[in-house]
Structure 1
Amino acid sequence: MKQKVVAVFALGLLMTAGCTNYVKQPEKTNAAQVTPAGDPLSSWNSGDIKDAIIKYVQTVTDSADKSYIPVQDRIATFDNDGTLWAEQPVYFQFFYALDKVREMAGQHPEWKTTEPFKSALMNDMGGIMRQGEKGVLAIVAATHAGMTTSQFDSSVAQWIDTAVHPIKKMHYNAMVYQPMLELIKYLQTNQFKVFIVSGGGIDFMRAWAENVYGIPKDQIVGSSIKSKYEYNNGQPEIIKLAELDFIDDHEGKPVGIQKFIGRKPVFACGNSDGDLQMLQWAASNKYSNLELYIHHTDADREWAYDRKSAIGKLDAGLDEAQKKNWLVADMKRDWKTMFPEGK
């Protein structure tokens, strides 16, 4: 495979030896979407980035301006991990998979002595790492495949409402970025059709992202495993299989955009080299376009990482952004607030 599965579901998460066990809390936490009156991007500090975004939207939605973009061509694409919500110390979908291993362990006593499950149950990330891509695949297959799509949707929705991040001690759906919630709402208000185009699992995101981001399920593009249709006693079902179908990362993102959207974006936003090709694709649009990178620079409120990070590496993308004058939002400088409700 040209793109490692690790880069889709768990790239670099194998490097996080010593992660604590997950904490469960009963209360439900949902991110609030806020569009303050008079300032649609109130969680953004005043400066060149905020000004450029607002100027772009005002210009391309003005029918009298030469840069006007027809409504049907106002396509905006956003990466998810590290762009709309946090992604450290590992991609959150892998936290889900490891949590499910623990939950399912009672049905699989053999896991106590079988890798990579033995290491997962012992919270030994180094042990999982030694199993390589094959080990990650085994965990993903065991926790994602075999269920109907409705069962998987219910499982993820329950997890996202209860699981707590081992470091931040926050619900995962509270670790979305308030400035990005405002940006999505601002674009939607100006008749942009907003899509998520992510390397994460499409069904994993669809289980919760619509409620959190206000982006419909049919506007979410992601990586997927294969499924099959069954008609069991008159009951139609879609069953998830333990086999890869589509990798929506790096070069896969423009392919996914063409395959599932059919229109080239005019606004593209990401945070890593995995998003570079998506931004390049948007930059080739005949219409006026805007490319935006989110740069993780705030070690106090979140994490600071870029060129040498195992998760969310931003190296070639940062160079190209500087070369082509794409926007690079510095989280520490440009964002007043990180998470909703000031978290």
Structure 2
Amino acid sequence: MLNKTIRSLAVLATAGFLVLSAGTCRAEDPLPAWNDGPAKQAVIDLVTAVTTEGGPDFVAPEDRVATFDQDGTSWVEHPAYPQALFAIDRIAAMAPQHPEWKDQEPFKSVLAGDRTAIAQFDEKDWLQIIAVTHSAMDVAEFDRLVQDWLPRSMNPVLKRGPVTSLTYVPILEVMKYLRANGFRTYLVTGGGQEFVRNFAKDTYGIPPSQVVGSSIVTTYKIEDGKPVLYREPKVFFVDDGPGKAVGINLFIGQRPQIAFGNSDGDREMLEWTTAGDGKRLGLLVFHDDAVREFAYGPANGLPDTHVGAFSQSLMDEAKARGWQVISMKKDWKTILAPAP
């Protein structure tokens, strides 16, 4: 009788421990780099809603899609987009074969290191630069150039590198949290698709097949008896603004349940996402922390910028549509991981 009682108590104690342990796991904060607030809670509420079987907003795992812009949303974009830094370094490397660039804009300003002029480059200027630095080679050669540059890349203001270390810890947490709950996470970026595919897996845990980006015309050729994919100096697809909604439809084929952006270029992606049936969520990262990162808008009176502009009209639309605006200053305990 005594032995039976002891065994019963042991079973009850073990059961109690398991319940306590399960409760502890459930209570564990999935987003520890976030301060408690509406933005964090909105993400958790969305995940809870779409993963609760039998609930009105349940979404089957195979249909759970999350999209993230990259520049300014998933990693640092100031003072210039990292891909622009790559292109600038390529101009310097190619300059000896192009002496005429010393007198031709936009190459002249790049070679002179004129940051003020570079900051004013328009789309035409960057298309010229991309055309000469990202094409006239096969895909394999371009990949080698990117992979060689990444380890020695550097943010010129933060004095930190490589650029792949300048990812936002809270966003990496969200990506991991969503994947743990059955979501496929996609990068939907205005950056070059092939450029980003070279580091997306190691940096974000996102495979190359889940990167949707801008691209140039690529053609199939036979060289020395072998097939190659050759990068032509022509734009094929611009994955920015309306192009993001189009790209999601073309390359993913499903409307996301949740989308993250940070600038006017992400407006249409959030509009498209949140216009769908069922529970949806749009979030915008707002750079308002000049101490830990950068502060720019021009929304809410912050400095204007040609890089990742967040306009007042976007801020007003976010409020009208119920999108969550993530304040770096207030919502994130941590922005960047410690320097490697």
Deviations 1:135-194 (A, max 9, x none): 322211111011211111121122121111111011111111000000000001101011
Q: Following the alignment from structure 1 to structure 2, what is the Cα–Cα distance between the partners of residues 289 and 342? A: 35
117-126 vs 214-223, which moves further: 117-126
User: 1:314 — aligned with what?
Assistant: 310
Structure 2 CA distance for partners of 1:131 and 1:65, relative to 1, 3 Å: closer
* Residue of structure 1 equivalent to 2:110: 120
Is 1:241 the counterpart of 2:232 in the alignment? yes
Name the counterpart of 2:86. Answer: 96
Q: Does the 8 A contact of 2:79 with 2:156 survive in 1?
A: no
TM-superposed CA distance for 1:127, in Å, is 5.2
> CA offsets, 1:210-245, max 9 Å, x none?
210001101010111111111112211111111111
After superposition, give the CA deviation of every residue in 1:251-302 in whole Å (9 maximum; x if it has no partner): 1111001111111111111001111111010111112111111111111000
Among residues 52, 56, 63, which one is paired with 1:66 in the alignment?
56
The structure having more radius of gyration, on CA atoms, is 2
Which of 139, 144, 148 is matched with 1:158 structurally?
A: 148
Report the counterpart of residue 19 of structure 2 in structure 1.
none
- Write the mapping of 1:152-301 to structure 2, written as runs, cut at 5 A: 152-171=142-161, 172-301=163-292
Contact preservation (8 Å) 2:120, 2:306: no
Residue 79, structure 1, aligned to residue 76, structure 2: no
Tell me the equivalent position of 1:29: none
**Alpha carbons 1:154, 1:207 under 8 Å: kept:** no
Note the alpha carbon deviations across 1:302-325, whole angstroms, 9 max, x for none: 011122332212122211111122
Q: Once the 2 structures are TM-superposed, how far is the Cα of residue 130 of structure 1 from its aligned partner?
A: 7.9
> d(CA) in 2 for partners of 1:313 and 1:245?
24
TM-score by length of 2: 0.86
Are residues 107 and 327 of structure 1, via their aligned partners in 2, closer, same or farther at CA, if it must alter by over 3 Å?
same
1:330 to 322, 327, 330: 327
| Distance in 1 (alpha carbons) for counterparts of 2:39 and 2:61 | 24
Corresponding residue pairs, total:
307
Conservation of the 8 A alpha-carbon contact between 1:115 and 1:131: no
* Residue segments in structure 1 that go unaligned for 5+ positions in a row: 1-36
* 2:52 partner letter: D
**1:191 counterpart SS class:** coil
Question: Displacement of 1:53 after TM fit?
Answer: 1.1
Q: SS at the partner of 2:137?
A: coil
SS in 2 for 1:255: helix
Matches within 5 A, 1:7-26: none
Distance in structure 2 (CA, Å) of the matches to 1:131 and 1:72: 42
Classify the secondary structure of the residue corresponding to 2:194: helix
TM-score between both structures, scaled by the size of structure 1: 0.85
Residue identity over aligned pairs, in percent, reads 43
Partners of 2:166 and 2:336 within 8 A in 1 = yes
Structure 2 CA distance, aligned partners of 1:74 and 1:283? 14
Q: 1:243 & 1:152 partners in 2: Cα distance?
A: 15
**d(CA) in 1 for partners of 2:120, 2:281:** 41
2:119/2:306 contact within 8 Å kept: no
- Partner Cα distance (1:108, 1:283) in 2: 48
SS in 2 for 1:164: coil
Separation (CA, whole Å) in 2 of partners of 1:272 and 1:199: 11
Structure 2: gaps spanning 5 or more residues: 1-26, 299-303
Paired residue type of 1:182: E
- Alpha-carbon contact 1:128-1:135 (below 8 Å) kept: no
Q: Relative to 1, partners in 2 of residues 1:132 and 1:197: Cα closer, same or farther, differing over 3 Å?
A: closer
Bigger RCO (CA 8 Å, 6+ sep) = 1
Task: Between 121-130 and 236-245, report the one with greater CA deviation.
Answer: 121-130
Q: CA deviation at 1:111?
A: 2.5
Secondary structure in structure 2 of the residue aligned to 1:218 = helix
Q: Is the 8 A contact 2:284 2:325 kept in 1?
A: yes
Output the CA distance in 1 between the equivalents of 2:122 and 2:45: 47
- How far 1:129 sits from its partner (Å)? 7.2
Report the Cα offset of residue 120 of structure 1.
1.5
Higher alpha-carbon deviation: 42-51 or 117-126: 117-126
Which amino acid in 2 is paired with 1:164?
Answer: M
Output the amino acid matched with 2:139.
Answer: T
Question: Structure 1 residue 333: deviation in Å?
Answer: 0.5
Contact 2:102–2:111 (8 Å) recurs in 1: yes
Letter in 2 for 1:109: P
